Chains A and B, each alone.
Chain A
């Protein structure tokens, strides 16, 4: 279901958003509805503390304590048959509650079921690595560190995976600007030429829709080409058709004559 937007003033206010609109939640159902999930949840509950559990889109979501993450995953892997960790990462809830939500998406091929194990950690809190249990957690935990700054204890190689090693900031945080902070804006210039080159190279041009057809240094005028930097004579300069060679011909190369060319319409000729 999409939010209702009045269509009469769409052109006038393209930024219109309903401040009081609440995104509809996918309906949740009780764990008891599914016998397999209910048995799994009982097995987890006998050893670990479970704060919440429900079924959403045919998958069980289990909230546990962050300290128990390795224990719960070990139990699920060795006793419950959830032998694959298909995905794990963090969700930034810092603005709402000052916490990250860590999720582990588990898959059991035998039971044909998926369980999402979730826990909350504080902003500066580290979490234990599940890499000894699942090798797929290796890169996923590195990506989590790279994108959110969540430190993972006892990871064999805790290093950024996507961004450069000397990058500042963690791009998937909600507070990180999409077009980058000042460090990101000057990264390549600082790295290659040094900070003193900033004045010469200048800031990034982020206005992607900017077109100036009389600026012959930065914009070409297809079909109305003039040499770079020269002022176009009239407002609309003379049309210059595509020219592959100079007027006088080229040294040792046959003249390309446009009127003698033939366009083949039949591909199978």
Chain B
């Protein structure tokens, strides 16, 4: 305790920061987006470049994790084949809520140039997507912009358990 008397009305006011729970929680969530290492094709190379030192995803608090249980962001980087579709759904379900999905590149968005029998025509047929990132393949700067857009989206969300879980069905 201070020995002297503090006049809160004069000396810079109360020594507390006033904010809302939503802001604090969203600040934490948006700046510690741990992404699932999920490179499926050539977009995965750009995703790896984004994580490496030149583009440095760690600045955003985006750290790649190898386990879906430790991650809240899934960057679907590449072509999703029909054989693999059930596994992406399983991995998505294993991620703890709240969770977000960036669909990176044309193949993940719409199937891209693989207009064939074996390619899922957009990952949003299997899992709910928060952000579609166009490009073939998007450059690391574009992926950084996507993460910043996602942070912007997260800041608008309500904190707390009342958050509506995202389900495709």
Question: Which of A's residues lie within 8 Å of B, judged by CB?
Answer: 162-164, 171, 176-181, 184, 187-189, 191-193, 197, 200-201, 204-206, 208, 220, 222, 242, 244-246, 250-253
Contacts and interface: CB of A to CB of B under 8 A. Distances in A.
B68 interface: no
B169 A242 contact: no
Given A204-B125, A245-B148, A251-B26, 13 more contacts: A178-B116, A179-B116, A184-B118, A192-B89, A193-B168, A205-B122, A208-B110, A208-B112, A208-B113, A242-B145, A246-B155, A251-B19, A251-B23
Interface stretch (B6-14, B69-77, B78-86): B78-86
Given A191-B85, A208-B111, A251-B19, A178 B117 contact: yes
A222 B145 CA distance: 12
B145 to A, nearest CB: 7
A180 B89 CA distance: 22
A194 to B, nearest CB: 9
B76 to A, nearest CB: 14
Given A208-B111, A245-B152, A177 B125 contact: no
B158 to A, nearest CB: 15
Contacts of B134: 220, 222
A250 B169 CA distance: 34
Contacts of A177: 117
Interface residues on B, range: 20 to 34
Interface string B58-102: 000000000000000000000000110110010000000000000
A200 B83 CA distance: 21
Interface in B139-169: 145, 148, 152, 155, 168-169
List the 6 closest A-B pairs by CB distance, nearest first.
A180-B117, A188-B85, A204-B121, A184-B117, A164-B83, A251-B23
A187 B82 contact: yes
Dominant secondary structure at the A interface: loop
B118 A244 contact: no
12 contacts: A162-B83, A163-B83, A163-B118, A171-B118, A176-B117, A178-B117, A179-B115, A184-B82, A187-B82, A188-B86, A192-B89, A253-B31
A66 B115 CA distance: 36
A171 B116 CA distance: 10
Contacts of A162: 83
Nearest to A184: B117
A188 B118 contact: no
A197 B167 CA distance: 13
B55 interface: no
A219 to B, nearest CB: 9
B89 A208 contact: no
Contacts of A164: 82-83
Given A197-B169, A220-B132, A206 B115 contact: yes
B155 A189 contact: no
A204 B122 CA distance: 9
B82 A188 contact: yes
Contacts of B48: none
A205 B169 contact: no
A117 B57 CA distance: 55
B27 A251 contact: yes
Given A171-B118, A189-B125, A205-B122, A244 B148 contact: yes
